[in-house]
Amino acid sequence: MSEANGRQPLDGVTVLDLTQFESGTVCTETLAWLGAEVWKVERPGRGELGRRSLTEPDIDTYGFLIVNMNKKSITCNMKTPEGRELIRKLLPKADVIVENMGPGSIERLGFGYEDCRKINETIIFASIKGFSPDSPYAEYPAFDPIATHTGGFVAVTGFPDQPVKAGVSVADSGTGMACAMAIIAALYQKQTQGIGQRIDVSMQDYVIGLGRAGWEMYYNTGKPPRRVGNGMPLEDVAPSGTYPCRPGGPNDYVHVYCSRASNDQFHKLCRVIGREDLIDDPRMATPQSRFLVRDELDAIITEWTMRHTKTEAMEILAGADVPAGALLDISDFANDPAYTEQGIIVEVDHPVRGKVKMPGFAPRMSANHIEYRPSPALGENNGEIYGGILGLTGEQIAELKEKKVI
């Protein structure tokens, strides 16, 4: 039975969202999913840079839709005195302000932490940048691939002679969620101790933290972890690889790894693929000895996997207690109803794009149910917030719009 009581964890929390692209927008979307009222501030006319594309200038990009659900949009030209005054009037109404502008931009606008604190003493000011404020690279521009390269992620990804950048936004989305976690902790501290604070999260710092496991090898060998493709980076063992499956498409693969701690899983693998003879082969006696003949072993495993689809191979192997994972892609998630039923893939009805599937909030909370709402239209909530919150009249709002302030 559901324990939900109709309220969300962050009900009553208001967030002033000065973010764009992914890291900041993921942060504020996470807060919105948890019940915060998020006021997304966008430039008049075009909106945030991630909203429009060169190929479809008059319709929101899917990238914008995916990271701006459950928010409210207001427009404001913060480069004008009138626009900055609107933000100053909204600040006392907010609990949190989040920004991920280029280095120094928010300070030049007059809304750095100390500026905001003068207006709202207990404001929680969260800033996401490529590099931390005291880094020697603090003034450098950064996007996700810059952070994954400078954070050590790419150094261990790829093959010995070729590093390969991540194919997903590890730094962007990950840093955004880490920032949301810090904001929630700060909100608790504000509630219990009555204080606000500044939060700085850098994408490089977050990615460095993702590499914790590699430090074991560093201390054991004095050298950084190696790039080993689909192998096991901590030790040369086999089997550990990604094997092709039927019918041979670009993502028709399954990864198989048997524990380096014992031979139990390898023996189960041998039985599943009908090669019990390998159990008594002295060359296959240990994970380390198998590595020396890995090409022969990989060919044997491939001969079996090529007779099965990736999901069949996963189900058969994992069902026999052999660790195996199909190489799933976005089309697999979008077209498999199981992910929608689980709630990890959600479908929202966008007024222009129609029904759109996208990833939802991964954690499950027994006392909370998220109602996913589509991303807002540009300036959709100007009247509600400028009129209802700040008390501006319709004439005043119309005048600000005429002057291109909102």
Catalytic residues: 172
| Residue position matching structure tokens 């590699």 | 214
Q: What is the rounded distance in angstroms from the CA atom of residue 157 to the CA atom of residue 164? A: 6
**CA neighbours closer than 13 Å in the CB half-sphere of residue 271:** 11
DSSP-based three-state secondary structure for 355: strand
DSSP-based three-state secondary structure for 195: coil
Q: What is the rounded distance in angstroms from the CA atom of residue 97 to the CA atom of residue 230? A: 41
Write the CB contacts of 101 (distance below 8 Å, at least 6 apart in sequence).
18, 20
Q: What is the rounded distance in angstroms from the CA atom of residue 18 to the CA atom of residue 15? A: 9
CB 69 within 8 A of CB 373: yes
Write the CB contacts of 23 (distance below 8 Å, at least 6 apart in sequence).
100, 128, 144, 171, 172, 173, 175, 176, 179, 203
E strand or H helix at 149, and its extent? Answer: helix 144-150
CB 48 within 8 A of CB 70: no
Omega before 247 cis (within 30°)?
Answer: yes
Please provide the distance, in angstroms rounded to a whole number, between the alpha carbons at the two ends of the chain: 46
E strand or H helix at 42, and its extent? Answer: strand 37-42
Q: What is the rounded distance in angstroms from the CA atom of residue 53 to the CA atom of residue 45? A: 14
CB 238 within 8 A of CB 285: no
**Nearest one of 88, 138, 133, 141 to 110, comparing CA atoms:** 88
| Residue position matching structure tokens 């604070």 | 197
Q: What is the rounded distance in angstroms from the CA atom of residue 27 to the CA atom of residue 16? A: 12
What burial class does residue 138 get, using C-beta atoms within 10 Å of its C-beta: 0-12 exposed, 13-18 middle, 19+ buried? Answer: middle
Quote the DSSP letter at residue 122.
T
Q: What is the rounded distance in angstroms from the CA atom of residue 40 to the CA atom of residue 65? A: 13
